[in-house]
Every structure is written in C-alpha cells, then in structure tokens.
C-alpha cells in the first residue's frame, strides 16, 4: 500500500521503502494501533523498532508515570518479536522541573548494540524552571512533551551513524479526534531530525502519523483483532495512557490516582504549593482531586499491576475483553 502525501508535490509515500521504521511507543492504545497497522500492511518486523521514552528517567524518580509502563512496553515488544529500545532524559521529569540556574540534563538512549549512549547537556543556557508544565497546546510551556519525548527521540536519531545515508520513518500516534490542535497536524512531513539536503551529513527521516484520521472505535477494533492485553491503566478506567499524573488529568482522574497511590498525588500537591504555581493555573491538584469521584471499575489486581515495576501478564490474550476505560474520559493535549 502507498500513501499520497502533501509535503512534497507528486510524492507517494511507500512505507516499504524505508530502511528503519521507528514507532514512538508509549504502550497506549494509539501507539499500539500504529504498530498493528504496520503488521496489517505487511511491513517486515525486522524493519520495525519500538522506542519507549522513560518520562521519569532511569535514575530512580517515580513522580509522574505509571510504574508498570516500561516493563509493559518491553513485554509487548518481546511478545511480537520486534526490537525494543529505551531512551530518556537523565533524571527525567523531576530533574528537569526542579532545574535551577542549570542547563538541561543530557539524554541517554540504547543503540543497535544495546549500548547506553549519552549525549547533550553541554551546550545551552543556564535557566531556572521550578514549575510544572502548564495545560496548553504550546510546547514551550507544556515542556514535558518537548523535552522528555520529542527532543529525546531526535537526539537518539542524530547521534547514531546507522541512520546516515539511510531512509528512516518515525511514526507517532496523534489522532485528529483528540483535539482541535492535533487535527491540524500533518499526516506526513519531514521529521525534526531530517537532513536529507545536508552537504556533509545526509540523513533522510520522515514523520508519519498513520492513525491521524482514525476514530477511537477503529483503534480498539485493531487491538481486539490482535487480542492485545491493554495497559492496566485502561482497565482501571483511564481513557488514554499518558503519565499516571498527567497534567491534563481530569478531576476524576486525580481522585482515582489519589485512591490508588495517595503518596504520588501528595508529592505533586506539595510541589505546587512550593512553586506557588499550579498545573492547571485556576485549580490546584488538591482542589481537582477533592471535586472528583474515583472510577468505580478499579479492582485490586489491576491496581497492583499498574503500580508494579514488573509486568508479568501475557500480552496476547486468548479471550479479549474491552477495558472499562475504552471510550471513557479522553482528557489530553488541547
């Protein structure tokens, strides 16, 4: 199958023409759908790599994300027999947020020999952040996506010679249905790491959003088709997978998180007080939590699974069941 694309006149995008296909893989329904769509197209698994960015880094912080997510993503890749690569900003979300008169931390990533490579953190300005990302479509203030995902992925591509003089396709799972801002995203365009017209360094990298025009029912249909066991957060009632303490979380999500992991919410609420700037600007996390009602579908085993650093359940089920979070609250980037 080929796709007509608009960023170059008369250009036809053929996913089979790429040497590497990188799926930015959060373990959420949309990134899973992206990968399964590649299988439906018949793309060889040998070309596909699932890249997971650790939001909290890999140095001991557990401020924001679901503890099980990294292990779940790794188990998913193993179940489908595809390459899995980790990457992160040193110190993750917490270190970047607490930055005071300092440069942003280096990035780390796994290369194709399973070596951990460190890059960055040397240039740039000394700055102070000391506040949470703000609820906004503007990535300059909603800095978590830019610093902890987009920049990390770009650095990993830019600092690996294997991508030189090759064709690489980066895939992400944004969907137009999610927000008016995401509806304006291009389905296909050159990636930020692209340097196809360079004089000394030639690196052809495109960015494709294959599920951009999909509605949520199509996403869950393909997940059911492959009988994929969803991330525990969906079973608990979350409608989308981001951080457990996502800045876009609704009052019901904050109440639900407080019900299963009160220490995580308490730490975030304390930081809001310390910074004197709330995430939502108009309401504190404590106020949102107090106004919300915990999801009623949360059972003890799913809570244990979500808060465990090791995911032990099968990824491919014999009998698939739609999770309670499907078609639920889909709070996310505006």
Backbone angles phi, psi at 87, to 5 degrees: -155, 155
What domains, with CATH codes, occur in the chain? 3-230 (3.40.50.620)
pLDDT digit string (tens) for 50-88?
A: 999 999 999 999 999 999 999 999 999 999 999 999 999
Collapsing DSSP to helix, strand or coil, 8 comes out as coil
- What percentage of the chain reaches a pLDDT higher than 90? 90
How far apart CA 89 and CA 19 sit, in angstroms, is 26
* pLDDT bucket at 7, cuts 50 / 70 / 90: very low
Collapsing DSSP to helix, strand or coil, 158 comes out as helix
pLDDT at 290 over 80: yes
How far apart CA 331 and CA 284 sit, in angstroms, is 17
Among 312, 75, 299, 321, which Cα is nearest to 220's?
Answer: 321
pLDDT digit string (tens) for 202-217?
A: 999 999 999 999 999 9
Give pTM, 2 decimals: 0.95
* pLDDT bucket at 17, cuts 50 / 70 / 90: very high
* pLDDT bucket at 135, cuts 50 / 70 / 90: confident
pLDDT at 6 over 50: no
Backbone angles phi, psi at 261, to 5 degrees: -150, 70
pLDDT at 8 over 60: no
CA angle 118, 154, 196 (to 5 degrees): 120
How far apart CA 77 and CA 83 sit, in angstroms, is 6
44 bridge partner residues: none
């Amino acid at each position: 199958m080929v796709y007509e694309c608009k960023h170059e006149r008369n250009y036809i995008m053929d996913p089979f023409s790429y040497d590497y296909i990188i799926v930015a893989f959060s373990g959420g329904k949309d990134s899973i759908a992206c990968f399964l769509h590649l299988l439906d197209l018949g793309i060889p698994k040998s070309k596909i790599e699932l890249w997971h960015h650790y939001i909290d880094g890999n140095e001991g912080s557990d401020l924001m994300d679901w503890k099980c997510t990294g292990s779940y993503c790794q188990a998913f890749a193993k179940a489908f027999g595809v390459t899995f690569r980790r990457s992160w900003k040193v110190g993750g979300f917490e270190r970047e947020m607490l930055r005071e008169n300092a440069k942003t931390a280096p990035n780390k990533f796994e290369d194709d020999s399973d070596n951990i490579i460190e890059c960055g953190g040397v240039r740039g300005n000394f700055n102070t952040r000391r506040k949470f990302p703000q609820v906004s479509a503007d990535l300059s203030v909603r800095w978590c996506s830019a610093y902890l995902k987009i920049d990390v992925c770009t650095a990993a591509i830019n600092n690996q010679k294997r991508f030189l003089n090759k064709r690489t396709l980066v895939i992400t799972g944004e969907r137009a249905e999610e927000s008016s801002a995401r509806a304006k995203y291009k389905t296909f365009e050159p990636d930020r790491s692209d340097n196809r017209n360079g004089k000394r360094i030639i690196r052809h990298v495109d960015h494709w959003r294959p599920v951009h025009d999909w509605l949520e029912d199509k996403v869950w249909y393909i997940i059911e088709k492959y009988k994929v066991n969803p991330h525990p957060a969906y079973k608990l009632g979350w409608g989308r997978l981001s951080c457990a303490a996502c800045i876009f979380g609704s009052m019901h999500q904050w109440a639900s998180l407080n019900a299963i992991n009160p220490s995580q919410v308490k730490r975030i609420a304390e930081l809001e007080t310390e910074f004197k700037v709330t995430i939502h600007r108009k309401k504190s996390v404590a106020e949102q939590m107090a106004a919300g009602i915990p999801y009623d579908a949360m059972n003890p085993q799913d809570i244990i699974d979500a808060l465990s650093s090791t995911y032990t359940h099968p990824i491919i089920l014999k009998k698939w069941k739609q999770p309670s979070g499907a078609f639920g609250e889909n709070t996310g980037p505006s």
